[in-house]
Structure 1
Amino acid sequence: MSPGPGVARRRRRRRAWLTVTVLAVLATAGAVGFTRWSTKGHADVPKTADSPATAEVVRTDLVDRIEVTGQVGHGPQRPITAARAGTLTWVADPGSVIDRGRPLYAVDARPVIVLFGRTPAYRELAEGVTGPDVKILQENLAALGYRPADPAGSFKAATTAAVKRWQKALRVEQTGRIALGDVVVLPGAVRVGTVSGQLGAPATGELLTVSGTERLVTAELEQAQRGHAADGAKVRLGLPDGRSATGTVRAVAAKSADDKSGGKTTKYDVTIAIDDPALDLAEGSLVDVGFDGEKHAGVLVVPVEALLAPKEGGYALEVLDGTGRRLVPVKLGLFADGKVEVSGAGLAAGMRVVTAA
């Protein structure tokens, strides 16, 4: 019977811990091996009666991979604050989806309507006003069936008439103008998260939070891991039932966090779109997220356990040479998946090197 996802995650974490441990003891193990070579004055290592554990030097592509835990949801929450004074008389329920032209909340029984766009509402819109916010209003009126004939971005008589027809359908006063606080402009349809505003209380401060409607995975990266997450990059997803899937990095947002010393550090929330929309992942479920970082193609690679760290400095490999052994100084490159990139004179793919037992 195959191990469950929890067992698999523990095994991966144990391998990562072992790699760190090996690196920590390299100086001790390496100094012993290399001191024996140095005191003899040449690179030959005496044969021993026991057959050593060995590994092959291989030429391959090495990729710096990390794995973190992500959570299924709908991406970062965005706070919605009231832009009109009055009493909060209605607010959409948590979990509800609000599309274009639908109310998100109401102040003094007057609905605040969602429009789509990238420029937030920041002023009253009325006849004689021009600008990108007017264009957004006109585009939304057209999408809702009230297309004005005025030039784009110019609030004239036709836009006034279209606004009045829309206000009539909303059953609000037909003023022909959009007061500040009548609408909230968002990038698209939203899903209501938490509701903090209290009905009957003044509509001030944060009233609720919203997110996108798409099912997403959010993962947190440390500052040192930031380079693994680039917009549009592919990631691996380990699902709770043991299956695997892929995702695409949608956005990376920096945030301030407390560090162990009581100071501040920067962490990053990575929003990931699930490539297969048919995957039915439960809200709040945890998934393993694998990121690929730096890649070195066609390099010589050995296990980390094969490295020796001489007390004089640098690193070396103990290479099997016929019936004997010799130490070959090497330079190190990329570390990944318990392996390390190595280079040095006389080192070639296919050689066998001694590893830690």
Structure 2
Amino acid sequence: MTAGPGVARRRRRRRAGLAVVAVAVLATTGVVGFTRWSVKGRSDVPKAPSAPATAEVVKTDLVDRITVTGKVGYGPGRPVTSARPGTLTWLPEPGAVIDRGRPLYAVDAKPVIVLFGRTPAYRDLAEGAEGPDVRILRENLAALGYRTTDKAGTFGASTTAALKRWQKALRVEQTGRIALGDVAVMPAAVRVATVSAQLGAPAAGEVLTVGGTERLVTVELEEAQRGHATVGAKVRIETAESRDTPGTIRAITAKSADDKSGGKTTKYDVTVAPDDPRANLAEGGSVDVGFDGEKHSGVLVVPVEALLAPREGGYALEVLEGASRRLIPVELGLFADGKVEVSGGGLAAGMRVVSAS
């Protein structure tokens, strides 16, 4: 039976479509084959092995150092409490420097005068008294130009006369005696840190706080850092010009602080004095202070990244010897500045070891 013209046309279109599909498949197969060949060709190119990072085993001194940011000021202030009853009639400005023989504040228009010494005023002083506070009074009178000839440590007629001359110069009543609260004994000249009292208020309790006149750095250390600080030890202060200037630890004061868990911990305020009083330390500014802790001299040292931890346990170094390598088991010592002290049989300065860095 002869197919009609419509059926013939449909058969020709189907054969043409199959041919197109076949060409497309062949073309795709060719592309895939080329791609695989190309990838295989690239993977067959040998890569030169990269040289391992290495480090030298060095014999040196290793010091456990820490650097902590501190605040420039005049050290922690200490409170001054009035021992004289009455009304406050004069108060100094914060920042004022009060020297020997100068008023610190005034009560009922009568100045409270600064004297230098280590024993605080604790009683009235008059002729016949003896003791360390009498010695302090006579030493200060002499320093102010009012010398006495009494026996050492005694308050005699000569001290009474010298005291009256000084009281006249101060324009206060010439009693020839010192009442408790007339003087404030300080170790040296002081700088007024804060003034807590108000003019016209009763002279009772804390009036102001004072500190030294020397520019100092105060650093707060955590309890774990306490071993790095010792009174009298040297530290390094980085100044505004990014230069290190030596300093000395003057004092260490413990204080209680809240920790992150809500409990209590101990922190330490470390007071540091620059050895050069001309060092450029801006008041209120921040500086970095470096503290030296434990020190091991003449030890073998490598970067921490050079350490290996074998499956057998312990630590080892991979030593390069020409084109070969071998492991040397090592014992660890002090860690500091990204380095570690190592020791082990066959290990020597100058060897090169593989490092991860």
TM-score normalised by L of structure 1 = 0.83
Structure 1 residues 312 and 80: CA distance shift in structure 2, 3 A: farther
Give the structure 2 partner of residue 162 of structure 1. 162
Q: Distance in 2 between matches of 1:228 and 1:115?
A: 36
Give the structure 1 partner of residue 233 of structure 2. 233
Deviation at residue 152 of structure 1 after TM alignment = 1.8
Q: 2:226 is paired with a residue of what secondary structure? A: helix
Give the structure 2 partner of residue 59 of structure 1. 59
Q: Distance in 2 between matches of 1:60 and 1:279?
A: 31
Q: Distance in 2 between matches of 1:313 and 1:209?
A: 59
Letter matched to residue 302 of structure 2: V
Deviation at residue 167 of structure 1 after TM alignment = 1.2
Deviation at residue 99 of structure 1 after TM alignment = 0.2
Give the structure 2 partner of residue 253 of structure 1. 253
Give the structure 2 partner of residue 140 of structure 1. 140
Deviations 1:100-153 (A, max 9, x none): 000000111111000000001111111221111110011001111111111121
Deviations 1:324-346 (A, max 9, x none): 32222211111111101011111
Q: 2:353 is paired with a residue of what secondary structure? A: strand
Deviation at residue 311 of structure 1 after TM alignment = 5.0
261-270 or 70-79, which deviates more: 261-270
Q: Distance in 1 between matches of 2:158 and 2:313?
A: 80
Return 5+ residue gaps in structure 2 as ranges.
1-47
Q: 1:59 is paired with a residue of what secondary structure? A: strand
Q: 2:350 is paired with a residue of what secondary structure? A: coil
Deviation at residue 200 of structure 1 after TM alignment = 0.5
Give the structure 1 partner of residue 268 of structure 2. 268
Q: Distance in 2 between matches of 1:132 and 1:236?
A: 39
Deviations 1:24-50 (A, max 9, x none): xxxxxxxxxxxxxxxxxxxxxxxx944
Give the structure 2 partner of residue 95 of structure 1. 95
Q: Distance in 2 between matches of 1:265 and 1:296?
A: 30
189-198 or 308-317, which deviates more: 308-317
Q: Distance in 2 between matches of 1:152 and 1:356?
A: 74
Give the structure 2 partner of residue 15 of structure 1. none
Give the structure 1 partner of residue 180 of structure 2. 180
| Runs of at least 4 residues off by over 6 Å | none
Q: 1:308 is paired with a residue of what secondary structure? A: coil
Letter matched to residue 216 of structure 1: L
Structure 1 residues 156 and 356: CA distance shift in structure 2, 3 A: same
Deviation at residue 186 of structure 1 after TM alignment = 0.5
Deviation at residue 323 of structure 1 after TM alignment = 2.4
Deviation at residue 312 of structure 1 after TM alignment = 4.7
Letter matched to residue 288 of structure 2: D
137-146 or 312-321, which deviates more: 312-321
Q: Is residue 345 of structure 2 the alignment partner of residue 345 of structure 1?
A: yes
Give the structure 1 partner of residue 106 of structure 2. 106
Q: Distance in 1 between matches of 2:86 and 2:346?
A: 80
Give the structure 2 partner of residue 42 of structure 1. none
Give the structure 1 partner of residue 7 of structure 2. none
130-139 or 249-258, which deviates more: 249-258
8 Å contact kept, 2:240–2:280: no
Give the structure 2 partner of residue 45 of structure 1. none
Give the structure 2 partner of residue 77 of structure 1. 77
Give the structure 2 partner of residue 171 of structure 1. 171
Give the structure 2 partner of residue 117 of structure 1. 117
**Structure possessing the higher relative contact order (Cα contacts under 8 Å, 6 or more residues apart):** 1
Q: 2:279 is paired with a residue of what secondary structure? A: coil
Q: Distance in 2 between matches of 1:75 and 1:152?
A: 35
Structure 1 residues 182 and 56: CA distance shift in structure 2, 3 A: same
Q: 2:149 is paired with a residue of what secondary structure? A: coil
Letter matched to residue 70 of structure 1: G
Q: Distance in 1 between matches of 2:213 and 2:136?
A: 21
Q: Distance in 2 between matches of 1:86 and 1:97?
A: 24
Deviations 1:47-82 (A, max 9, x none): x94432111111111111110111111112111111
Query: What is the aligned-residue identity percentage?
Result: 77
Q: Distance in 2 between matches of 1:62 and 1:306?
A: 17
Deviation at residue 232 of structure 1 after TM alignment = 2.6
Deviation at residue 91 of structure 1 after TM alignment = 1.0
Q: 1:224 is paired with a residue of what secondary structure? A: helix
Give the structure 2 partner of residue 17 of structure 1. none
Q: Distance in 2 between matches of 1:239 and 1:317?
A: 40
Q: Distance in 1 between matches of 2:71 and 2:286?
A: 5
Q: 1:168 is paired with a residue of what secondary structure? A: helix
Give the structure 1 partner of residue 322 of structure 2. 322
8 Å contact kept, 2:238–2:287: yes
How many residue pairs get aligned? The number is 310
